[in-house]
Each structure stands twice: as structure tokens, then as C-alpha cells.
Amino acid sequence: MQITRLSIPEVVLIEPRVFGDARGVFYESFNQRAFNEATETSYQFVQDNHSYSRKGVLRGLHYQLQRPQGKLVRVVQGVVFDVAVDLRKSSPTFGKWVGQILSAEHRTLMWVPPGFAHGFLTLSDTSDFIYKTTDYWCPEHERVIRWDDPTLGIEWPLVMSPILADKDAIAPPICSDDLYE
């Protein structure tokens, strides 16, 4: 497994060792002990989610103000541009974002810790996006930040107008009342 810390060092790329031969490939997509060592955390995962999207679908930027979720994300079919935004007021990278192209071909996972908003844009015709969470989804605590908030300045690789859920289309810009301490 190869670990790469991004410009926000708590956000980590995890590249599994892939073993291949004429029959195909095998790789360990998740190992709790290896994950904890790589991220220097002790999080446990409680929920797995699967999102299928077509080209141009942009999901996010989502987070839970209470019961924040860490997310270990990966693409098992297609290609996405994945984004994490640091919403921790006391962080030196507060309000900064990192983006990474994830694909089924490269099998890279991205760790998005609690305290971050998360979103992704499907770049391929379709994508299957799978992620583990460190806490359960709580709709009453869910918040959304506008995907194109100029304060954040996320450089989405758009080739068309994004396809948005209603809640994402009407999401407000970042609000200081809805951030982590």
C-alpha cells in the first residue's frame, strides 16, 4: 500500500498493492489495521454507501455538523473528480480544498476525515462510487454548501453544466454558523 498526503495533510490517498496475472487481478481494498496506521487514526467504519451517477452529476458539498462523518471513498466503475473542503475553524487549512481524480482503473482510495465537506463530479459516462463512513447518516444534521461558492473557488473540471440534486442546487454559500470548531 502506498500513502500520499495531499496539500491538506489529513486528506490521504491510499493506493493498494495490486497483484495481477493472466487470470486478472487481486487486491485488498480495505484493511482496518493498515488504514489506521496509514492515517494515524483509530476510526472504525459503521456504514457503507454506494452511489451510481451519470456523466455530469455533481454531488455535494455535503457534511454533518453534528455526528460528523469521515469517509473512505473509492470508485469501482468509471471516473470522478473528488473534493474535500476543510471546515474546521481552528485548522491552518480552514476553507481550503483538495481535489483528486479517482478511477476504477487506478483503484486509489481517498480518506476524507470528519470536519470536512465532501463532493464529487462524475467525469465518465457513468460511475459507481463506494464509500465507508465513520458515523451514521443523520439527515437532521446534514448541511450542504453551494458547489460553486466563490469563497471556496473549487476548480471543478466541468465540460457541461452540472446535474444537481434539488438540495445541492439551492445550497447556500459557506456559513460561519455551520462550521466545526
Answer yes or no: 27 catalytic. no
**Residue 39 grid cell:** 492515517
**Residue 181 grid cell:** 470548531
Residue 85 to residue 154: CA distance in whole angstroms: 9
**Residue 42 grid cell:** 483509530
Q: Which of 27, 52, 131, 180 is catalytic?
A: 131
Q: Which of 62, 63, 118, 136 is catalytic?
A: 62
Answer yes or no: 180 catalytic. no
- For 157, the 3-state DSSP assignment is coil
Residue 99 to residue 84: CA distance in whole angstroms: 7
- For 46, the 3-state DSSP assignment is coil
- Which positions are catalytic? 62, 131
